[in-house]
Amino acid sequence: MRRPTYTTRRTPVELQLTPMIDCVFLLMIYFIFSSNFNIPELSLPGQLSAASGSGVATSDTPPPPEADFEDVVVRILWQGSAPTWTVNDSPVSSLAVLEKSLRGVARIKRNAPVILHPDPDVPLGNVIEVYDISRLVGFEKVQFAASL
């Protein structure tokens, strides 16, 4: 018996790689933009008490000085023929002492807002001096109190 012969002509298969490369690049761009390249923080800062057991631990350390105040209010008053100053209701005798007081506060919390509250009869030059001192010692936010 004779085997049948099939004469089939196959056309050569051509692979279209351009759409596949486009998909690969789109996936790569998606994963690059959706990933996070920050270094994970392995240890969190914290203060743990040295007391062991399940008892209540007390701390003898005071809270950080940042929690003591939020704003620094500098009042500029005009008494007689000279200005007087108060920092958070504490009187200050001169501009040098005011600068020293503000410098001490700036060492603790530099980003605390300084609010200048001048009386209406204080000359503008005295207000500008206090503003310049506040910026000189390093405060970032110096604001003026508004009276309604």
- Which of 97-109 are b and which e, b meaning 16 or more Cβ less than 10 Å from the residue's Cβ? ebbebbeebbeeb
Mean pLDDT across 77-93: 87
pLDDT at res. 140: 84
Dig out the tokens for 112 from the structure: 């605390």
Q: Mind listing the pLDDT tens digit for each residue in 90-148? A: 888 888 999 998 888 888 888 888 889 888 888 888 889 999 999 999 888 888 887 65
Helix (H) / strand (E) containing 50: none
3-state DSSP call for residue 120? Answer: coil
| Average pLDDT of the residues of the chain | 80
The CA distances from residue 135 to 4, 41, 90, 108, 119, in Å, are 101, 35, 20, 15, 20
Q: Domain 68-144 class?
A: alpha beta
DSSP, collapsed to helix, strand or coil, labels residue 98 as helix
Task: Please check the confidence at residue 43 and state whether its pLDDT lies above 80.
Answer: no
pTM: 0.52
Checking 121-125 for CB contacts under 8 A at 24+ apart, the result is 121/78, 122/76, 122/77, 122/78, 122/83, 123/78, 123/83
Task: Answer yes or no: is pLDDT of 82 > 60.
Answer: yes
* Residue 27 predicted with pLDDT over 90: yes
User: What pLDDT band is residue 35 in, cutting at 50, 70 and 90?
Assistant: confident
User: For residue 115, how many other CB atoms are within 10 A of its CB?
Assistant: 18
Tell me if 101 sits within 8 A of 92, measured CB to CB: yes
